[in-house]
Amino acid sequence: MLELRGVTKRFGGVVATDNVALEVAQGEVHALIGPNGAGKTTLIGQISGSLQTDVGTVRFLEKDVTALRQHERVRLGLARSYQITSIFRRFTVLDNLALAVQARSGSSFSFWRPVAAEAALFDEARAISGEIGLAGRLGVTAGNLAHGEQRALEVGLALATRPRFVLLDEPMAGMGPEESQRMIALIGRIRASVTVLLVEHDMDAVFRLADRITVLVSGRVIASGRPAEIRADKDVRRAYLGDELAA
Amino acid sequence: MSWILILEQSLNGLQFGLMLFLLAAGLTLVFGIMDMINLAHGSLYMLGAFLASTFIELTGSFLAGVLLAIAATAVLGMLLEVSILRTLYARDHLSQVLATFALILIINELVRLVWGSDAALAMPAALSGPVELLPGLRYPSYRLVIIGVGLAVALLLYVLVTKTRIGMLVRAGASNREMALAMGVDIKTLFTLVFGVGAALCALAGSMLAPLLAVQVGMGENILILAFVVIVIGGIGSIRGALVGAVLVGVVDTIGRAFLPILLGAFFQPRVASAAGPALASVMIYLIMAVVLYFRPQGLFPARG
Amino acid sequence: MRKALCITLVLIAFPVAMQWLGYLFYVSFASRVMIYAIAATSLNLVLGYGGMLSFGHAAFVGAGAYVASILVAEGVASAWIGWPAAVAASALLAWVIGAISLRTRGVYFIMITLAVAQMMFYLVNSMKAYGGDEGLTLPRRAELGLGLDLGDEVVFYYVVLFVLLAALYALHRVVHSRFGRVMIAIRENGARVEALGLPVYRYQLLCFVIAGAAGGLAGALLASHGKYVNPNVLHWLQSGTLMIMVILGGVGHLWGGAIGAAVLLGLEHVIADYPLPWLAQVAPNYQQHASLGVGIVLLVIVLFAPQGIAGLISRRKNA
């Protein structure tokens, strides 16, 4: 479904992603792991379209989307959530989700009819809020949500566009154990309908959810394969996992 | 159209450009480091000119007057920074624009209350004669002094910013403020100092240009826009960009005003040329800015990566 | 809603009362205030709701004023041609300026709108054929036909009132429409809107054009009102004045532009025409330094009450 070849991004003298090759099959949950600064978020940016790729190609659904802008890729069904929460803080939870639903249903170049009259938008927003566990918090201003709830909304916004493929950038960032379990459950639920590329540091989540794992270190892919292979891989242990799995 | 005329106008352009650089340098640093839009920067330029006219009258010496004006403006600038501008750093750009716009109004009126709408500032007698640079090219010595001062300050700033520790802190702040903060740099004092230096540069430009242009309320606004165009072309946060941009703008503007009407006159009827010439000359700078931004939206030498 | 109705009724009754009292001057003054209210409201759309810090809005008001004036000066007196032409010209100008400026962000955007507007100022200033820096005086106001004589202050007032109310109602509908929600969202977090699949640039450009067009209409009315136009209407200080009105009245509030225009122009009028003897004793010539007061008020508002008057009112209501 998603295929990267030779994807590279340079910022001045720094090479953030270096000749990255990656393949994600439909229906997969594919995890992308690596130490901080490995270039994971940069890669997500290049896949989603918010960053332009210097070299290489990104293919989505058999189409070369390298030149497409972010909003065009979203229209094709490629959504992302952000590592640093990027929601609409002054909107309520309901309005946040309703906006996302509005974005993918019909044209927003409509100037006269009040949005409030479109019951379908809000019904669907309510449904999505149930999926992400925020059904009881619809009237709360997003900026007032607890951190874990904001992360859930963060993912919810991406899901509300009903994507075929979603990039989740550290959805569990800053979450406590209970909230993390809920997020893991959520990802477990959505995998039936959405292909997932998951960036995460939480190794418990990664090994529970991932069908395959790719390891990124200093912008380069050093290993890619099934969880068991990755766990056993010498390079990976040395570069990244060694300390993490000591426990 | 003799080459002497071209040379003369080029020197005029260089001179104007270097003075623009003085304004632009302070402005670009304030933008780059504090991420603050300061519309009142032109008011500091105006204050410098008015203060200079008073100090020159009091001391009888052009040099003393200018130096005192620079010092006074720097102090006033720093006071302004500490009292009002500091609260704006954390605010959004709209608030900064409006607050500093309010400062323009306030400072303009205060100047009017103290000095009236304009003041006189004469060229120092010693420098009012021309100098023969080349056979046939007589150039006003005062303008030469301005060029000299401008180049000297540019060099000084270059040394300051690239070779000293403070300069390094300034550059770090310009390219990545959060990082500088995280490294424990005393941001507040650094900001105040940077602002003070910027104010001093404005005052220098204001007092040096005063004998050539008029000292009047509102002089700051006119040059402010040019300074903004300069830093947009040069790249926000970059002193090198400010220098290149300022000289470019100064030369293009001066030469444009001098020669465009003549150039147009060669192709069009005199009536058209005399109407379109000045209009096009005023517009040249903005066209260049548009062109630069089309190819390099971050300016020619952006400080931020 | 009830408050709006009350205000509307007052505005409708106003000229009748003034005529009865014999203060016809105030009808003309009120027209001028309402025209600026329209201009400020148009800026409020792009600035308050859209979050785009356009410092060159005066260019659109000025473009409308000049196009309308030039047509009348050249003998085309019909407002049915002149005013739509003004709107079209401003919309086109906004489209061009917006297309260039909106490719930039933050301070660059502000500076470009500022610089381009100033460029327009210089261009118009050098148009000797239409008065140059002395401006253009018109022989008459535009003609509306329909048995309405725009030369009559009261008739003109009602026409302007109609346009103002229409503009406010249109703004109300737009803000609550899909387009409005997207604009407010863009102001809130433009990057995320793009990530939801909406081409932010296109929305911003359209908003910019609509606001510019409305500004052009205000300009056309302004030119008709004073039967005079000069390049100062395009100067960036005029843009600043419009911005002051918007923030004074309340950025992002429906009535923000109107309130701001009324308060600012009202204050200016009061200071200029109603000398306070006790103040004059303390500070002679204080009336010539009215800008000082405006500056201080603006600074205070920005620092302590950035939501403007409308914001203060709604906060008191909710408290």
pLDDT tens profile A150-159: 999 999 999 9
* CA–CA dist B245, A202 (Å, integer): 49
Among A210-214, B248-252, B281-285, C231-235, which stretch is predicted with the lowest mean pLDDT?
B281-285
Q: Retrieve residue B92's tokens.
A: 């959004």
Q: Retrieve residue C117's tokens.
A: 């507007």
Please, are residues C211 and C227 in contact by the beta-carbon 8 Å criterion?
no
Kindly report, residue by residue over B41-65, the tens digit of the pLDDT: 999 999 999 999 898 888 888 888 8
* Chain C nearest C-alpha distance from B230 (Å): 10
Residue in C closest to B89 by C-alpha: C303
Q: CB atoms < 10 A from the CB of A67, how many?
A: 11
Give the CA-trace dihedral at C127, C131, C135, C136, to 10 degrees.
-120
B228 near C CB under 8 A: yes
Q: Retrieve residue A5's tokens.
A: 């070849």
Q: Which of C111, C133, C285 has the highest number of chain B CBs within 10 A, making it the mutation to test binding with B?
A: C111
* Mean pLDDT (chain B, rounded): 84
pLDDT of residue A200 exceeding 60: yes
Q: Retrieve residue B143's tokens.
A: 């303008």
Of A80, A107, A108, the CB nearest to C195: A80
Q: Retrieve residue C18's tokens.
A: 């003034």
Q: CB atoms < 10 A from the CB of C129, how many?
A: 11
Identify the band that residue A247 occupies on the pLDDT scale cut at 50, 70 and 90: very low
Residues in contact with B204: Cβ distance below 8 Å, sequence separation at least 6, in sequence order: B22, B48, B66, B70, B149, B153
Residue in A closest to C201 by C-alpha: A71
Kindly report, residue by residue over C194-224, the tens digit of the pLDDT: 999 999 999 999 999 999 999 999 999 999 9
Quote the number of domains for chain A.
Answer: 1
pLDDT of residue A238 exceeding 90: no
Kindly report, residue by residue over B234-274, the tens digit of the pLDDT: 888 788 889 999 999 999 888 888 887 777 777 777 766 66
Q: Do C108 and B232 touch (CB under 8 A)?
A: yes
CA-to-CA separations, A176 to A146, A147, A168, A179, in angstroms, rounded = 12, 10, 18, 5
* CA–CA dist A2, A24 (Å, integer): 5
C312 near A CB under 8 A: no
Highest mean pLDDT among A53-62, A175-184, B35-44, C174-183: C174-183
Kindly report, residue by residue over C123-141, the tens digit of the pLDDT: 888 777 788 788 888 888 8
pLDDT of residue C32 exceeding 90: yes
Kindly report, residue by residue over C83-116, the tens digit of the pLDDT: 999 999 999 999 999 988 888 877 778 888 888 8
Please state the rounded mean pLDDT for residues B67-74: 93
Q: Retrieve residue A181's tokens.
A: 């379990």
- Which CATH number characterizes residue A52's domain? 3.40.50.300
Provide the pairing of β-strand A14-24 with A195-199. unpaired
Q: Do C196 and A48 touch (CB under 8 A)?
A: no
Q: Do B232 and C251 touch (CB under 8 A)?
A: no
Sheet holding A14-24, edge to edge: A14-24, A2-11, A55-60, A63-64
pLDDT value at position C262? 92
Of C180, C188, C200, the CB nearest to A90: C188
Q: Which residue would you say has higher pLDDT here, B127 or C93?
A: C93
* CA–CA dist C300, C188 (Å, integer): 25
pLDDT of residue B161 exceeding 90: no
Helix (H) or strand (E) segment spanning residue A132 = none
Identify the band that residue A246 occupies on the pLDDT scale cut at 50, 70 and 90: very low
A113 near C CB under 8 A: yes
A76 near C CB under 8 A: no
pLDDT value at position A81? 92
User: Which chains have 3 or more CB–CB distances shorter than 8 Å to chain A?
Assistant: C
Kindly report, residue by residue over C137-170, the tens digit of the pLDDT: 888 888 887 878 888 888 888 999 999 999 999 9
Residue C278 burial by CB count (10 A; 0-12/13-18/19+): exposed, middle or buried? exposed
pLDDT of residue A245 exceeding 60: no
* CA–CA dist A244, A229 (Å, integer): 16
Please, are residues B180 and B172 in contact by the beta-carbon 8 Å criterion?
yes
Of B110, B286, B297, the CB nearest to C104: B297
Q: CB atoms < 10 A from the CB of C279, how many?
A: 12
Q: Which of C173, C178, C186, C200 has the highest number of chain A CBs within 10 A, making it the mutation to test binding with A?
A: C178
* CA–CA dist B113, C285 (Å, integer): 9
Q: Which residue would you say has higher pLDDT here, A46 or B164?
A: A46
Please, are residues C20 and C54 in contact by the beta-carbon 8 Å criterion?
no
Q: Which domain holds residue A57?
A: 2-244
Among A88-97, A175-184, C83-92, which stretch is predicted with the lowest mean pLDDT?
A175-184
- The fraction of chain C above a pLDDT of 90, given in percent, is 40
Strand, coil or helix: B237: coil
Residue C101 burial by CB count (10 A; 0-12/13-18/19+): exposed, middle or buried? buried
Instruction: Tell me the residues of chain B between 106 and 145 that have a Cβ less than 8 Å away from chain C.
Output: 106, 108-110, 112-113
Q: Which residue would you say has higher pLDDT here, C156 or A234?
A: C156
pLDDT value at position C292? 83
* Chain C nearest C-alpha distance from B283 (Å): 6
Identify the band that residue B173 occupies on the pLDDT scale cut at 50, 70 and 90: low
Among A60-69, B199-208, C42-51, C307-316, which stretch is predicted with the lowest mean pLDDT?
C307-316
Q: Do C177 and A50 touch (CB under 8 A)?
A: no
pTM, two decimals, is 0.87
| Cα radius of gyration (chain C) | 20
Instruction: Tell me the residues of chain B between 36 and 55 that have a Cβ less than 8 Å away from chain C.
Output: 37
Residues of C in contact with B228 (CB under 8 A): 111, 114-115
Residues of C in contact with A100 (CB under 8 A): 196
- Domain boundaries in chain C? 2-235
pLDDT of residue B1 exceeding 90: no
* Mean pLDDT (chain C, rounded): 87
pLDDT value at position C74? 87
Q: Which residue would you say has higher pLDDT here, C1 or A169?
A: A169
Identify the band that residue B305 occupies on the pLDDT scale cut at 50, 70 and 90: very low
A to C CB pairs, distance under 8 Å: 95
pLDDT of residue B279 exceeding 80: no
Strand, coil or helix: A111: coil
